[in-house]
């Protein structure tokens, strides 16, 4: 893959005891070792539009990697419009979050925001899955799928046809991903079947429930 210009962003201002952008430094370094140009920032600006997102549509970035680590509506209407403009001009957007309502601001990002299921908004439509899965951390509610301990790994399934994103350069397929004791969940949003698909599928080691780990737009 040719080198890309990538913007890494969190949805919160820098707070030491929180998921500030410094906690993603190893990812930044790994991307740079692959030859990519990476800039990484927490939310910048006291109110209204985030400075980096506001400049994104006219920037020379190829991709936005957005780490939604808020539990409120951190993305403003201006932020959402800037991200949508960036997508319309051909930019790639990766969005990720965690359990329960962490990262709930993604729900406002239109169809690819609706790929994410939360506790208080856009819950999984299957009511039987609206239940605590990680039974070790009772303070965290659903969705919180337990795929293994931190530092461990999980075996994953790759639906056919295998997407190039989960293939190595030698053509072999990914078999494992890092595990986490309380993962969130995504799915292909209704009406998006023509351009969105499951790429990787994992499962809870507590209940056996399957969960999509990644959905490609």
Low-confidence stretches of the chain (pLDDT < 70) are 1, 217
CATH of domain 1-96: 3.40.50.880
| Tens-place pLDDT, residues 99-142 | 999 999 998 898 888 999 999 999 999 999 999 999 999 899 99
Q: What is the pLDDT of residue 1?
A: 67
Residue with tokens 């239109």: 110
Are 102 and 68 within 8 A, CB to CB? yes
Separation CA 174–CA 163 (nearest Å): 11
3-class DSSP state of 167: strand
The Cα–Cα gap between 173 and 171 comes to 7
pLDDT at position 217, please? Answer: 66
Tell me the C-alpha distance between 144 and 118, whole Å: 10
Residue 61 sits at the vertex; the CA angle it makes with 58 and 64, to the nearest 5 degrees, is: 105
Structural domain boundaries in the chain: 1-96, 126-217
Query: Which residue, chain included where needed, has tokens 């707070």?
Result: 15
Residue 74 burial (10 A CB sphere; 0-12, 13-18, 19+) = buried
User: What pLDDT is attached to residue 194?
Assistant: 87
pTM of the model: 0.92
């Amino acid at each position: 893959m040719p080198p890309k210009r990538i913007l890494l962003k969190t949805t919160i201002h820098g707070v030491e005891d929180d998921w500030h952008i410094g906690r993603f430094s190893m990812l930044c370094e790994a991307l740079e070792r692959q030859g990519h140009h990476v800039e990484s920032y927490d939310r910048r600006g006291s109110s209204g539009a985030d400075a980096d997102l506001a400049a994104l549509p006219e920037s020379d970035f190829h991709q936005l990697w957005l780490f939604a680590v808020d539990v409120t509506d951190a993305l403003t209407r201006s932020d959402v419009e800037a991200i949508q403009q960036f997508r319309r001009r051909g930019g790639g957007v990766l969005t990720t979050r965690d359990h329960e309502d962490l990262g709930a601001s993604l729900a406002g990002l239109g169809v690819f925001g609706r790929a994410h299921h939360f506790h208080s908004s856009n819950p999984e439509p299957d009511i039987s899955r609206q239940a605590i899965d990680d039974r070790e951390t009772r303070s965290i509610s659903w969705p919180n799928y337990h795929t293994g301990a931190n530092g461990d790994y999980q075996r994953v399934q790759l639906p056919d046809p295998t997407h190039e994103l989960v293939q190595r350069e030698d053509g072999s397929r990914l078999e494992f991903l890092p595990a986490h004791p309380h993962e969130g969940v995504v799915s292909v949003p209704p009406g998006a079947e023509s351009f969105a698909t499951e790429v990787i599928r994992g499962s809870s080691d507590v209940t056996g429930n399957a969960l999509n780990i990644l959905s490609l737009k």
